[in-house]
Amino acid sequence: MSVEILEPRGPSTSRRTVLLTGASGVVGRALLDRLTGMDVICLVHRRPVTGPSVRSVAGDVSQHLLGLDEGTYRRLAASVDAVVHCAAVTDFNRTDGSLQATNIVGTEHMVAFAAEAGAVLYHVSTAFVGTTADGDRGRTAIGYAESKATAEEVVRTSGVPHVILRPSVVIGDSATGAIAEFQGLHQVAAGILAGIVPMIPFDASWPIDFVPADVVADAIACVVEQQVRSGEYWITAGERSLRLDEAVAVALEVGREYGVRVDRPKFVPPDLFDRLIGPVFLEALPGKIRRSVVRMLEFFATYLRSGETKPSSLTELEALGMRPLPDQAESLRTSLRYWAEETGYASRAERAA
């Protein structure tokens, strides 16, 4: 990987150049496929990213000058028109300091780079930035939300022209189900189909907000293409979210396609589960299964937030050119089918049937 071919922007340059962080991640990978008509430079930590009009530069957002020597850093800054910052640690169970180093310090470094470049910073945050722990439930998951909230404050107070984008839970491509890395929602579906989630301590009518990766990418790309220089956008399903019981029904339906039939999980009141059912139920489980169940409960606690409906900016984003949100149930069905095929779940289930 080299930056020797980087050239400063010039007034006669017709194509814009975007620096993209986190290009190998779920949002970044989908965005890379969508940012057509622009030259894209990917700041990559481990392996180069390829594609039409795409170059890679080895660096690290958590390091001073992005891990580059000063000359390379200055040349890179002189060559870009916009910065799209997707890089983040999204594992909410991390306790090794990487949430702070990447999500907060890394954002500070990207703010400094955008200032050096005179570029607009498009900061990809999360729709769950305001999540707080509800007693013990969700406590281990709160570190991620807090790190993203702090990163947003870094951006807001920086003085750099910026746009904050808040995607919801990201699932696979709405047409193919493809995704760079399987997410918590896929793990929950796996648990349900394995029969280790006999009960869910939430109201069946609560909304579960998710958006396909290609829709998230389209929304971000439209904002960049229209050269929006300020604002905050919620890339969420909002009022169009599925109910929790509807999402569970889709997972069970996909399981049946592969010959898997499990009982529908029972929905129980959260306080009843915490006081009476949970302690006995969890203690009776083998260690590995118990850890999986606890992780799934943390996922639900973090992403459901007592049944609240997320704000949504889809109307404003569609006015900028984003295509409409596809049918939620069909997108989830497609995503889970892709997961089943790619993980080998489908073939294992069919052999066992």
Cβ neighbors of 238 (< 8 A, separation 6 or more) are 209, 309, 310, 311, 312, 314
Residue with tokens 């907060």: 104
Q: According to the model, what pLDDT value does residue 316 have?
A: 97
Residue 17 has pLDDT above 80, yes or no: yes
CB 180 within 8 A of CB 29: yes
DSSP code per residue over 255-277: HHHTT---PPPEE--HHHIIIII
Cβ neighbors of 336 (< 8 A, separation 6 or more) are 177, 186, 189, 250, 251, 254
Domains of the chain: 1-167 (3.40.50.720)
Express each pLDDT in 18-61 by its tens digit: 999 999 999 999 999 999 889 999 999 877 887 778 999 999 99
Mean residue pLDDT across the chain: 87
Q: How do 162-167 and 169-171 pair as beta strands?
A: unpaired
CB 51 within 8 A of CB 40: yes
pTM value?
A: 0.90
Say how far apart CA 19 and CA 23 lie, in whole Å. Answer: 10
- Under DSSP, the state recorded for 352 is H
Say how far apart CA 107 and CA 123 lie, in whole Å. Answer: 8
